Amino acid sequence: MRTALITGASRGIGRGIALSLAQQGYGLTVTSRSESGIATLAGQLRDAGSPMTVHRAADMADRQALPGLVALHGETFGSMNALIVNAGVGTAGPVDSFRTDRLDKTVEVNFTAAFVLIQAALPLLRSAADADPALGAKVIAMSSITGAYAESGLAVYGATKAALLSLMETVNLEEGARGVTASAIAPGYVETDMSAWVTDTVPADTMIRVSDVVAVVNMLLGLSRNTSITRIVMSRSGASGYHA
């Protein structure tokens, strides 16, 4: 059985990825903050075809809770074919007045949690890569187009997403030769709760679909271990290509 751990799985992009992997028969560990939300999702994933799904509520800002998520996956499945680092928080505001407590929270959730989870998961990912000479094991991080191209008002969010782009490159350099490859997906606006604040200027029906991001994840998961794609930027059709 192929297995994956997915953060931010209760809603939006993470939920789309989880449902797709369940339909493909993955064993899953899913997490988000709300116990009731993630428990409900776990049942839906089993109904969708996952032979085994375990769940645990955790706040990505709680660094101490993160190794336990990986341990839960390891105790349940023994190895990990894919780590999907998807949970994120969106924050906007100009540099001159951005509150530093929001800075800390955004860095913790969007970057530090990703680093801590990857570090904790590497033994399980290496084990899966050893057992799968064709595909190896994958880390996929949900970055943003604002990490690739700076955007006014999104300094902190964009910087955390740029950090993920760099981290995926480094994971590839350090782990790729032994079969653990890493990719960042960097979309413009995707139609989810997170982008609801901008629908007066970017209509929801023009945004990237969750299903498009899921299709990219599935493509990455199907690549052989011989190929690394460190980043994929996804633009809204008709937008500049350098703007969310």
Q: Which residues bind ligand NAP (CB under 6 A)?
A: 8-14, 32-34, 37, 59-61, 86-90, 109, 142, 144, 187, 189-190, 192-195
Task: Give the residue with the Cβ less far from ligand NAP, 107 or 194.
Answer: 194
In whole angstroms, how close is the CB of 126 to ligand NAP at the nearest point? 25
- Residue whose C-alpha is closest to residue 208's, from 219, 195, 197: 195
Inter-axis angle of helices 155-175 and 113-131, nearest 10: 30
CA distance 10 to 13: 9
Task: Give the residue with the Cβ less far from ligand NAP, 151 or 175.
Answer: 151
CB atoms within 10 A of CB 47: 11
In whole angstroms, how close is the CB of 177 to ligand NAP at the nearest point? 28
In whole angstroms, how close is the CB of 105 to ligand NAP at the nearest point? 8
Contact 79, 53 (CB under 8 A): no
Task: Give the residue with the Cβ less far from ligand NAP, 13 or 155.
Answer: 13
- Residue whose C-alpha is closest to residue 228's, from 132, 137, 117, 111: 137
In whole angstroms, how close is the CB of 107 to ligand NAP at the nearest point? 12
Task: Give the residue with the Cβ less far from ligand NAP, 32 or 183.
Answer: 32
- Residue whose C-alpha is closest to residue 83's, from 168, 174, 173: 168
| Burial status of residue 158 (CB atoms within 10 A of its CB: 0-12, 13-18, 19 or more) | buried
Task: Give the residue with the Cβ less far from ligand NAP, 35 or 174.
Answer: 35
In whole angstroms, how close is the CB of 22 to ligand NAP at the nearest point? 15
